[in-house]
A and B are shown apart, each in its own frame.
Chain A
């Protein structure tokens, strides 16, 4: 059992629906599905080398969630010296669910919401496997 919550870091994608799906899924896990057992942090803080955020990354098992192939979340966690315990890509989820075609970026449409729900479930299972805890 991890003493610390699992840290889920989504990418900050703002140009396409994929980043929104990753963030929405992350917030579902952190705020609802595994509240208290998972946490998140601003990717921008890592980019800026914020001391507190970097320490949190280095002391936690991290789950990276990337929207696009540029893999900003994974790369920035690694650059900060973090340990990636699991990795999810929205593009992989889309490949497995070709019938779903998310289009809206700001607020997810039905297909985007369905994908976010599926991704959140997968992340929640991984949080269980990793045994996150510590915020209760």
Chain B
């Protein structure tokens, strides 16, 4: 039986380094940790795209990855496409850890990459949870 893929949609987050952190963690999941099991879409396509793009969350159970508390990814998906299956709030994760956001939004240090691994792990947990629910 072919299992449906899980959507992972990152906020664009050009304003700050948390957006870069969200995108790199999302790419890590798509390329490596859950390659072949996950798909993505550019967030602004929900508005600029056609009805095909807006079907995304209806076709795929979707994890929103939000850099900051504004939760643009979650809100955009729910406004234009359908309910999200889960949200990863990166700013909240860092606050719980007492970690500062990366200093640069372009160049990441090894410490920043450790945060990427942490966020990617959180995304994988959500993806696994969705797939387990599909199997049940």
A residues with CB within 8 A of B: 9-15, 19, 23-24, 26-28, 31, 40-48, 50, 70-73, 75-76, 79, 105-107
Rounded to whole angstroms, the CA-CA distance of A54 and B105 in the bound complex is: 22
**22 residue pairs from A and B, CB less than 8 Å apart:** A11-B42, A12-B14, A14-B23, A14-B40, A14-B41, A40-B14, A42-B13, A42-B15, A43-B44, A44-B11, A44-B12, A44-B13, A45-B15, A47-B46, A47-B72, A48-B76, A70-B45, A72-B47, A76-B44, A76-B48, A79-B48, A106-B31
Rounded to whole angstroms, the CA-CA distance of A71 and B123 in the bound complex is: 28
Rounded to whole angstroms, the CA-CA distance of A26 and B106 in the bound complex is: 10
CB distance from B72 to the nearest CB of A (A): 4
Is B79 interfacial (CB 8 A cutoff)? Answer: yes
CB distance from B102 to the nearest CB of A (A): 12
CB distance from A75 to the nearest CB of B (A): 4
Q: How many of chain B's residues touch chain A, expressed as a range?
A: 20 to 34
Is B126 interfacial (CB 8 A cutoff)? Answer: no
Query: Assuming the A-B contacts A44-B11, A47-B76, are A12 and B106 also in contact, with contact meaning beta carbons closer than 8 angstroms in the complex?
Result: no
Is B104 interfacial (CB 8 A cutoff)? Answer: yes
Query: Assuming the A-B contacts A44-B73, A106-B31, are A26 and B47 also in contact, with contact meaning beta carbons closer than 8 angstroms in the complex?
Result: no
Task: Give the residues in chain A near B48, CB-CB below 8 Å.
Answer: 70-72, 75-76, 79
**Which of A13, A40, A43, A72 has the largest count of B CB atoms less than 10 A from its CB?**
A43
Q: Is the CB of A23 within 8 A of B14?
A: yes
Rounded to whole angstroms, the CA-CA distance of A108 and B45 in the bound complex is: 23
**Which of B13, B72, B75 has the largest count of A CB atoms less than 10 A from its CB?**
B72
